[in-house]
Structure 1
Amino acid sequence: MEKTETFKSFYEDKFGERLDILSNDNADFLMIPHDGCIDGKPILYRRRNFYKISFLDGRFVVHYGDKSMETKGTGLVFFDPKTPYTIESLEDSTMGGHLIFKEYYLDTYFRNHINKLPIFSRDHKPIFSLEQVEIEKIITLFDKIKREHNSDYEFKNDLIRNYISELFHFAVKKKPLIKTHTPTDTKTRLAKVFIELLDRQFPIENPGDPFVFRSPRKFAETLGVHVNSLNRAVRGYTGKTTSDYISDRLMEEAIILLKHTDWNIADISYGLGFEDPSHFNHFFKDRTQQIPSNLRI
């Protein structure tokens, strides 16, 4: 997989000038019309270290994590730094645009971190299809953002943050999510720290820098708890055993690497922490009833 794209490298590759010549505000947020992203270069499948909201019209395939989702018509798509993605256009389109911003552009705006918003949950798709009345509302918001972005108003970024917040809440309200009780007991905190520690090991960008923590016991030792306590916490929070949760996360990353990199099977197996490719093949076949190379045919 390509290395994580930074906000700085994206800007300098797209516009051919150094990012450090911009003011601090303009160096944290960009608005790009859809036709401004069409330059003949393919959009590489990779993670980015910034957030992106895309307003798309036409036929597109969004490759997001280990899934590929086709969208037809007009839609709003939300991307975060945790998940690799690319957008593949299936037909020409001139309507739409993209909002790109660093994490700390909105850091102090929300009471909780924006990656805690339901639209960035691993369990939900990031694409929202729009009805005509909703399309008009999104066009109005993008027009307001464009107008402020191009203005000299001293507090324009406060207004832009308000409009981005409206987009977030529009998406959350449009696709109601099951409300769950989120207690703050010790078991819940332990499960959340485990998940954060697991996610922190991805992406795997080099087979020589492999996935390290693979066993529940290793996680328990790192977290300073008994493995049974960790298992109870994870099962209570996710409904899965610790081993199954780790295995599911490994499978997700394995599919990403098989589909979107040219690494050979051995490199992928070592990168995921398997001692040899035969162990990886057994792991993969046990969960998918097929061998890893089938995903490349």
Structure 2
Amino acid sequence: MAESIPQFYKRIQPDNSQPATSYSREKPYFNIFSRACNFGTVQFSYREFYKVTLVIGVGRLYYADKWILVDRPALMFSNPLVPYAWESISEEQNGMFCIFNEQFVLPEEKSGSLADTPLFKVTGDKVFFLNEEQVAKVLDIYAQMKAENETDYAGKFDVLRCYLHLLIHTALKMQDSNRYESHPNASQRIAELFIELLDRQFPVTDPHAVLALRTPADYANRLSVHVNHLNKVVKEVTGKTTSAMIAERVVKECTQHLLHSHLSISEIAYSLGFESVAYFSKFYRKHTGKSPSESREQSII
């Protein structure tokens, strides 16, 4: 099970119950912290939130199918699709990090110019080593983020997103010189690529653009593997079947449209690849216990 933001607070601040009572998955959330790690601690799990960390201290990062020795200051990126763990090697562990949820991320950022950045990609570099000048620059960005986050300015989330973009592009500038040893696993990589393909199809914003990949066979063909092999590795890596993961993501997208868009139920059904409204309704009820109309009645628009 993925660690939620309230569970994260309970782990790092056991006596602070405030985030558990005030946090809502439906609203944008952002916070920033000074970094400290217990010596030798390893926790390998999924998180429900994004995290961008300035690491000052020696340790090993374990994520997906790789481990990386971090032996000098670095920027690390994690997202909800990739499980990871940190093992402290040196007793001194410093730096900064920020966390934010899916609602903080703008849809155009996941499908536009930032789609291929380390924050959103399942595969690719997650660690970017820094020199002294870059460390100073990143610390300054975090300081400005912290100051902005403490204001009551109505548009502070927009400002914080700008600072986040600066952190991302600071890492991208180092991409050509970013070199480290990692240890890939073929099965895990196929599962990662499947998850990335699945996530990249959403959100669906055009009712006339039908979802391209709907079945496990569609994804297997795109990845050039046999569908049985894809099903096997996805089950091994995620604990879920390929069909279940596709259905979960489609149901999530359906619900978002039913609650927060002006698309008709037939437009939603067509855009997500259903041949008829009747089949869409049957599918949605099977996975949620409600009809699309019943969910739409809860709409806030």
Short-chain TM bin: 0.5 to 0.7
The correspondence of residues 117-266 of structure 1 with structure 2, limited to 5 A, is 117-119=116-118, 120-175=120-175, 195-196=194-195, 223=214, 230=218, 234-235=220-221, 237-246=222-231, 249=234, 253=237
C-alpha spacing 1:111/1:85, structure 2 compared with 1 (3 Å): closer
User: CA separation in 2, counterparts of 1:108 and 1:89?
Assistant: 35
Q: Is the 8 A contact 1:80 1:115 kept in 2?
A: no
Q: How has the CA–CA distance of structure 1 residues 94 and 122 changed in structure 2, closer, same or farther, with 3 Å as cutoff?
A: closer
Q: Deviations over 1:95-133 (max 9, x none)?
A: 311111001112256262798333143331301111222
Distance 2:35 2:131 in 1: 20
Report deviation, 1:150.
Answer: 2.5
Letter in 1 for 2:148: E
Question: Is the 8 Å Cα contact of residues 19 and 27 (structure 1) preserved in structure 2?
Answer: no
Q: What is the DSSP-based 3-state SS (H/G/I as helix, E as strand, rest coil) of the residue aligned with 1:136?
A: helix
Considering only aligned residues, what root-mean-square deviation do their CA atoms show, in Å? Answer: 3.8
- 1:56-75 matches, cutoff 5 A: 56-75=55-74
- Secondary structure, aligned partner of 1:153: coil
Which residue of 1 is the match for residue 83 of structure 2? 84
Unaligned runs of 5+ in 2: 178-192, 200-212, 242-301
Distance 1:224 1:124, change over 3 A: closer
Shift of 1:34: 0.8
Q: Which moved more, 1:50-59 or 1:25-34?
A: 25-34
Secondary structure at the counterpart of residue 55 of structure 1:
strand
Q: What is the CA–CA distance in structure 2 between the aligned matches of 1:23 and 1:121, rounded to whole Å?
A: 26
Distance 1:39 1:169 in 2: 30
Offset, 1:7: 1.3
| SS of aligned partner of 2:8 | helix
Deviation above 6 Å: which 4+ runs of structure 1? 23-27, 197-200
The aligned length equals: 209
More divergent stretch after superposition (72-81 vs 4-13): 4-13
In 2, the alpha carbon distance for the partners of 1:197 and 1:150 equals: 34
Does the Cα contact within 8 Å between 2:39 and 2:90 map onto a contact in 1?
Answer: no
> CA 1:43–1:197 in 2, change beyond 3 Å: closer, same or farther?
closer
Counterpart amino acid of residue 134 in structure 2? E
Q: State whether structure 2 residue 31 is matched by structure 1 residue 33.
A: no
5+ residue gaps, structure 1, are 178-193, 201-221, 255-270, 274-297
Partner amino acid, structure 2, of 1:65? A
Change (3 A) 1:44 1:174: same
CA contact (8 A) 1:107 1:113 kept: no
Query: What secondary structure is seen at the aligned counterpart in 1 of 2:58?
Result: strand
Q: So what's the TM-score if we normalise by structure 2?
A: 0.57
How far apart are 1:44 and its partner, in Å?
Answer: 2.1
Q: Tell me if structure 2 keeps the 8 A contact 1:20–1:27.
A: no
Letter matched to residue 136 of structure 2: E
Q: Secondary structure at the match of 1:165?
A: helix
Instruction: Report if aligned partners of 2:62, 2:68 keep a CA contact under 8 Å in 1.
Output: yes
Q: Secondary structure at the match of 1:121?
A: coil
1:33/1:96 contact within 8 Å kept: yes
When residues 96 and 26 of structure 1 are mapped into structure 2, their CA distance, relative to the original with a 3 A threshold, is: farther
Q: Is the 8 A contact 2:117 2:168 kept in 1?
A: no
